[in-house]
């Protein structure tokens, strides 16, 4: 059977405010498919960021006493809106064509911006935009580049929610 070129599986790792120092080692998600593959990528840098370590108003509303399971789930979804420093790993896991061996995982970074697109009570739609600004060789910061945009709808029910792809 022909080996097939690998599809990319994206694992986004959100970095909570203040968890990592600016030069912290990166965590590599890895399945034991083939050992010894050092990650590649991560050769560009973004401008320094100032992390907001305060609780957002949405997080504060989520902590109120006496909320129903449904309302707590709604507020948890709405509290996802915001701007996050993120790193992510691409790991090729499914062969789709002839290749000499497994590809090394690729690591990168960006700023994820999450917006509430629609809030209809039992249905909330969030838009995720992954943006990069790169510090160039001359020290200037590039214009923002959108590397990924995703809209996802979430149907809210008491005690849980389910994701609806759009």
| Domain positions in the chain | 7-165
Q: What is the pLDDT of residue 159?
A: 52
Task: Identify the CA nearest to 17 among candidates 54, 44, 67, 47.
Answer: 54
Q: What is the pLDDT of residue 6?
A: 27
Q: What is the pLDDT of residue 19?
A: 35
Q: Pairing state of beta strands 106-119 and 145-157?
A: unpaired
Q: What is the pLDDT of residue 10?
A: 26
Residues of the chain with pLDDT under 50: 1-22, 165-166
- Buried b or exposed e, range 54-69, using 16+ CB within 10 angstroms: eeeebeeebeeeeeee
Q: State how far the Cα of 32 lies from the Cα of 130, in Å rounded to an integer.
A: 28
Strands annotated E in the chain:
7-15, 40-41, 82-94, 106-119, 123-132, 145-157, 160-165
Q: What is the pLDDT of residues 19-65, one digit of tens each?
A: 334 455 555 555 555 666 666 776 788 888 888 889 999 999 999 99
């Amino acid at each position: 059977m022909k080996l097939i070129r690998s599809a990319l599986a994206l694992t986004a790792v959100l970095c909570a405010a203040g968890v990592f120092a600016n030069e912290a080692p990166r965590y590599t998600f890895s399945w034991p498919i083939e050992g010894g593959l050092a990650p590649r990528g991560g050769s560009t840098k973004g401008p320094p960021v100032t992390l907001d370590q305060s609780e957002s108003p949405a997080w504060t509303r989520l902590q109120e006493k006496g909320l129903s399971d449904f309302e707590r789930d709604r507020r948890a979804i709405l509290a996802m809106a915001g701007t996050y420093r993120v790193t992510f790993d691409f790991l090729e896991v499914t062969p789709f064509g002839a290749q000499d061996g497994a590809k090394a995982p690729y690591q990168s970074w960006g700023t994820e911006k999450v917006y509430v697109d629609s809030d209809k009570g039992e249905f909330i739609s969030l838009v995720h935009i992954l943006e990069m600004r790169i510090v160039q060789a001359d020290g200037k910061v590039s214009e923002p580049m959108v590397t990924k945009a995703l809209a996802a709808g979430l149907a809210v029910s008491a005690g849980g929610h389910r994701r609806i792809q759009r």
